[in-house]
């Protein structure tokens, strides 16, 4: 049964308080009074499948088919081709269609450029804009331009589409009442681009339209609010491994500011030529031999992103200084909870730059708390260090310190607690926080009670009872496992001392006594025996420890570090002894026997690679300077 749809002209669409005209909504020029969609079904299928020959024959038989509505949503063949990503089909259709017909809108007010932006088809976008550069200014029923659709719906890897549309979409000297980069439309657009992670594009648009830096949408959100919810966009929120952390500061990265003026012309230039002429910034970091090396490329791209987001925050703060009075500053940074969110998730870069341009924000309560209280409650040591290093126990911080001890006595949020491996070292981290708060509070306030009549120490004991038990269980299980292996190594090493390779002569002397390999065997075997015995004693002492709260701070971690170091050393020396013994026994017979010591290094290296990160973390947390710089600041005070 055929579907009959009466073609009607779209009325003006209401968006907010403004009326958006639809000048090309009735540009169909139908050959019959009623629109029979079944008649255009072959054309519709040909467009979706990219079958140009079928579509061409259909158009030759019915010249009006190019501008006819072929779907229930009042879409033309050009709409369907753009939506399906058929860029070659789009190019061929555009050549046959008049310029005005390209701007036809479907029942939601979207043009073919809207759909090309949604699908992320670069060549289709370029073809449509080249044919009719007014397409970038047409909004749909929700007041959205094609540029607005691209960052939110196009695939992330097709960032070039967003770049291109941001350059060819205009805002200056326009007669339209609603401009793409002004009002709530501009705020929604810049927030959408920011949320998509296109910080270089966002930075370019802010330099082009400075008012966007502090623009807020209907929910009172701004660019800074979006950034404060994404800690991974900043260096402080990125978690690199050991090697990537070493590579990161050595990579040279320069900012990509984009064109220095808005592009109003050159719409006929191909997409690639715009980039070659320098008018389109690259959407990825500049390629160098070093940046493209395996293992380095991802670190380079991450640092490139960090550079742009830091410059973006800097630009926002500079623009806020120009545009806002004191009360507006409080509303922008405090009422919108930018500082509260940034402090909660530990984005120290936002806090540093906000306090750099607006030092008085340190005096303003955040969510009825001080910044220091929020940082302590959320266990953000970088924020705490920043506040104390920059402001050296300023008045607002001292006032908050009276309640810090009770705040830090509570168990940390699970997200921060799980950032440390092992329950024992989670307990150690909690003790570090509690001792830090004790150093801040005057001794006369350390025994103060809260509204429930409990001291901070009592709250800490109650809140961390379960964590202490888990830490005790974790350390005992680790000690038992390591002690079994250490005992096995000690037994083998002791037996090997009396059954040397090659046996003994009639006089009782080892046959290979004068061999260098034999001396290596003897020394490594003795070291394996001594180190394994030492690790057994250390782990045994851990099994008999009392496991009090204070023991998790230094005593137990030190024992575990020494025990694991001795355990690792015993494994390494045992493998060296084995390699030396093999080379003595079969070295003259088999040439490959010389390579056995090298092969013996494989399990030792594997064990070190698996356990080294945890071991380094243990050493840093126990013997290192700690996670806080407060003690140093107290010493430096005059």
| SS3 (DSSP) at 261 | coil
Range of lowest pLDDT (14-18, 175-179, 210-214, 527-531): 14-18
268 vs 486, residue with greater confidence: 486
Count CB neighbours of 391 within 10 A: 16
pLDDT of residue 519: 86
Q: What is the pLDDT of residue 617?
A: 80
The separation between CA 237 and the C-alpha centre of its own chain, rounded to angstroms, equals 7
| Number of structural domains in the chain | 3
Domain boundary among 177, 193, 217: 177
Give the per-residue pLDDT at 615: 83
Q: Please report the pLDDT score of residue 249 as a whole number.
A: 81
**Among 85, 94, 89, 130, which Cα is nearest to 274's?**
130
Does one domain contain both 173 and 188?
Answer: no
201-205, 285-289, 608-612, range with greatest mean pLDDT: 201-205
Whether residue 201 sits in one domain with residue 160: no
Q: Strands 35-36, 4-5: parallel, antiparallel or unpaired by DSSP?
A: antiparallel
Q: Is residue 399 helix, strand or coil?
A: helix
Asked if residue 410 belongs to a domain, the reply is: no
The DSSP symbol for 514 reads T
Q: Are residues 132 and 255 in the same domain?
A: no
Supply the pLDDT for residue 292: 66
Q: 397 in a domain, yes or no? A: no
Q: What's the confidence (pLDDT) of residue 275?
A: 45
264 secondary structure, DSSP code: -
In this structure, are 310 and 219 located in the same domain?
yes
Neighbouring CB atoms inside 10 A of 173's CB total 7
Are the C-beta atoms of residues 164 and 142 closer than 8 Å to each other?
Answer: no
Boundary of a domain, candidates 113, 146, 177: 177
| Residue 129 to residues 24, 90, 107, 325, Cα–Cα distance (Å) | 16, 12, 21, 41
Q: Measured between alpha carbons, how far is 468 from 547 in angstroms, rounded to an integer? A: 8
Question: Of the ranges 45-49, 131-135, 331-335, 601-605, which one carries the lowest mean pLDDT score?
Answer: 601-605
CA distance 568 to 231: 37
Most confident of 382-396, 424-438, 525-539: 525-539
Q: Residue 121 belongs to a domain with what CATH number?
A: 1.25.40.20
Query: Among 124, 157, 177, where does a domain finish?
Result: 177
The model's pTM is 0.76
Q: Are residues 35 and 47 in the same domain?
A: yes
Do 89 and 101 share a structural domain?
Answer: yes
**46, 55 Cβ separation under 8 angstroms:** yes
Pair 79, 173 in one domain: yes
> What tokens appear for 615 in the block?
């071991």
Which of 418, 560, 572, 556 lies closest to 481, judged by CA?
A: 560
The pLDDT of residue 625 is 66
Label residue 508 by pLDDT band (50, 70, 90).
low
Residue 12 has pLDDT above 50, yes or no: no
Residue predicted with more confidence, 585 or 134? 134
In a domain, 78, yes or no: yes
Q: Is residue 384 part of a domain?
A: no
pLDDT of residue 309: 94
| Same domain? 168 vs 197 | no
pLDDT at 288: 56
Residues of the chain with pLDDT > 70, as a percent, come to 78
Q: Is residue 96 part of a domain?
A: yes
Q: How many C-beta neighbours within 10 Å does residue 107 have?
A: 16
Instruction: Give pLDDT tens digits for 317-375.
Output: 999 999 888 888 888 887 778 888 999 999 999 999 998 898 888 877 776 677 888 88
Q: What is the pLDDT of residue 526?
A: 93
Tokens of 389: 């290093």
| Beta-sheet pairing, 18-20 with 35-36 | unpaired
Q: If we measure between CA atoms, which residue out of 483, 433, 485, 486 comes closest to residue 456?
A: 433
Angle at 351 between CA 345 and CA 353, to 5 degrees: 140
Q: Is the pLDDT reported for residue 630 higher than 70?
A: no
Model confidence pLDDT, tens digit, residues 595-607: 666 676 777 777 7
154 in Cβ contact with 117 (< 8 Å): yes
pLDDT in tens, 582-596: 877 776 555 555 566
Report CA 254 to chain centroid distance, whole Å: 20
| Calculated CA dihedral for residues 184, 190, 193, 198, nearest 10 degrees | 180
Q: At what angle do helices 465-496 and 456-463 cross, to 10 degrees?
A: 60
Residues whose CB is less than 8 angstroms from the CB of residue 507 and which lie 6 or more positions away in sequence, other chains included: none
Please give the Cα distance from 357 to 517 (Å, whole number): 68
pLDDT digits (tens, 9 = 90+) for 146-199: 998 888 776 666 788 999 999 998 876 455 556 888 888 889 899 999 998 899
Burial of 487 (0-12, 13-18, 19+ CB in 10 A): middle
Do 124 and 188 fall into the same domain?
no
Q: Are 455 and 448 in contact (CB under 8 A)?
A: yes
- The pLDDT of 413-430, averaged and rounded, is 88
SS3 state of residue 162: helix
First to last CA, the chain: 92
* Contact predicate 81/90, CB 8 Å: yes
CB atoms within 10 A of CB 60: 9
Chain CA centroid to CA 553, Å: 32
**pLDDT(83) > 70:** yes
Q: Tens of pLDDT along 210-244?
A: 999 999 888 888 999 999 999 999 998 888 777 77
Q: Which residue has the higher pLDDT, 422 or 600?
A: 422
d(CA 503, CA 524) in angstroms, rounded, equals 18
Tell me the pLDDT band of 458, cut-offs 50, 70 and 90: very high
- In angstroms, the CA 432 to CA 622 distance is 10
In a domain? residue 425? no
Query: Looking at residue 285, what is its pLDDT?
Result: 53
Closest CA to 224 of 330, 364, 333: 333
Tell me if 537 sits within 8 A of 558, measured CB to CB: no
Same domain assignment for residues 477 and 607:
yes
Is pLDDT of 209 > 70? yes
Give, as one character, the DSSP assignment of residue 13: E
Q: Please compute the mean of the pLDDT values over residues 471-489 and round it to a whole number.
A: 93
Q: How far is Cα 384 from Cα 629, in angstroms, rounded to an integer?
A: 9
CATH number of the domain within which 549 lies: 1.20.140
Note the pLDDT tens digit of each residue in 51-74: 888 888 888 888 888 888 888 888
Residue 278 has pLDDT above 60, yes or no: no
Residues 267-281, mean pLDDT to the nearest whole number = 43
Residue 526 lies in a domain: yes
Does residue 584 belong to any structural domain of this protein?
Answer: yes
* Cα dihedral 468, 473, 474, 480 sign: positive
How far is Cα 70 from Cα 36, in angstroms, rounded to an integer? 8
Residues 162 and 230 in one domain: no
The average confidence (pLDDT) of the chain is: 79
Q: Which domain holds residue 585?
A: 473-632
Residues 224 and 153 in one domain: no
Between 440 and 126, the more confident residue is 126
CB neighbours (10 Å) of residue 536? 23
């Amino acid at each position: 049964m055929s579907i009959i749809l009466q073609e009607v002209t779209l009325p003006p669409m209401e968006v907010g308080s403004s009326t958006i005209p639809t000048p090309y909504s009735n540009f169909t020029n139908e050959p019959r009074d009623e629109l029979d969609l079944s008649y255009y079904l072959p054309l519709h299928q040909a467009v979706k499948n990219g079958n140009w020959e079928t579509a061409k024959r259909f158009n030759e038989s019915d010249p009006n088919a190019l501008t006819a509505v072929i779907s229930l949503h009042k879409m033309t063949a050009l709409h369907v081709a753009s939506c399906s990503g058929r860029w070659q089909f789009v190019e061929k259709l555009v050549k046959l269609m008049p310029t005005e017909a390209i701007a036809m809108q479907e029942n939601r007010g979207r043009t073919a450029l809207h759909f090309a932006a949604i699908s992320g088809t670069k060549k289709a976008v370029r073809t449509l804009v080249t044919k009719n550069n007014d397409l970038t200014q047409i909004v749909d029923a929700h007041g959205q331009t094609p540029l607005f659709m691209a960052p939110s719906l196009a695939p992330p890897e097709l960032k070039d589409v967003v770049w291109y549309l941001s350059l060819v979409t205009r805002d200056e000297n326009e007669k339209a009442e609603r401009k793409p980069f002004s009002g709530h439309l501009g705020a929604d657009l810049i927030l959408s681009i920011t949320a998509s992670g296109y910080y270089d594009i966002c930075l370019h648009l802010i330099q082009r339209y400075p008012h966007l830096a502090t623009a807020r949408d209907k929910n009172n959100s701004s660019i800074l609010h979006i950034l404060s919810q994404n800690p991974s966009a900043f260096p402080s929120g990125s978690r690199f491994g050991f090697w990537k952390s070493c590579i990161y500061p050595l990579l040279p990265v320069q900012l990509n500011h984009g064109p220095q003026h808005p592009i109003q012309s050159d719409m006929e230039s191909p997409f690639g030529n715009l980039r070659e002429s320098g008018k389109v910034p690259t959407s990825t970091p500049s390629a160098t031999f070093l940046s493209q090396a395996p293992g380095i490329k991802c670190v380079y791209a991450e640092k490139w992103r960090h550079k742009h987001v830091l410059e973006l925050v800097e630009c926002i703060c500079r623009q806020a200084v120009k545009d806002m009075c004191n009360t507006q500053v409080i509303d922008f940074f405090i009422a919108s909870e930018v500082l509260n969110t940034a402090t909660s998730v530990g984005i120290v870069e936002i806090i540093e730059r906000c306090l750099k341009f607006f030092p008085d924000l340190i005096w303003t309560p955040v969510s009825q708390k001080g910044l220091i209280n929020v940082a302590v409650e959320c266990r953000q040591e970088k924020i705490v260090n920043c506040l104390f290093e920059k402001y050296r126990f300023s008045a607002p911080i001292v006032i908050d310190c009276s309640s810090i001890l009770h705040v830090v006595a509570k168990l940390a949020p699970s997200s921060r607690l799980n950032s440390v491996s092992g329950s024992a070292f989670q307990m150690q981290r909690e003790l570090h926080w509690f001792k830090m708060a004790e150093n801040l509070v005057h001794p006369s306030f350390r025994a103060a009670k809260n509204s429930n009549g409990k001291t901070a120490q009592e709250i800490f004991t109650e809140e961390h009872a379960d964590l202490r038990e888990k830490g005790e269980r974790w350390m005992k299980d680790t000690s038992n496992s390591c002690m079994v292996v250490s005992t096995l190594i000690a037994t083998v090493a002791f037996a090997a001392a009396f059954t040397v390779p090659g046996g003994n002569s009639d006089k009782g002397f080892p046959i290979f006594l004068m061999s260098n390999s034999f001396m290596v065997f003897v020394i490594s075997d003795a070291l394996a025996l001594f180190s394994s015995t030492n690790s057994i004693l250390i782990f045994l002492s851990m099994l008999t420890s009392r496991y009090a709260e204070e023991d998790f701070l230094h005593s137990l971690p030190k024992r575990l570090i020494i025990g694991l170091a001795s355990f690792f050393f015993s494994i390494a020396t045992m493998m060296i002894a084995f390699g030396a013994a093999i080379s003595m026994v079969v070295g003259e017979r088999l040439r490959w026997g010389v390579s056995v010591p090298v092969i013996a290094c494989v399990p030792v290296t594997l064990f070190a690679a698996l356990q080294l990160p945890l071991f380094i973390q243990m050493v840093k947390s126990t013997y290192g300077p700690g996670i806080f710089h407060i003690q140093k600041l107290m010493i430096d005070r005059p």
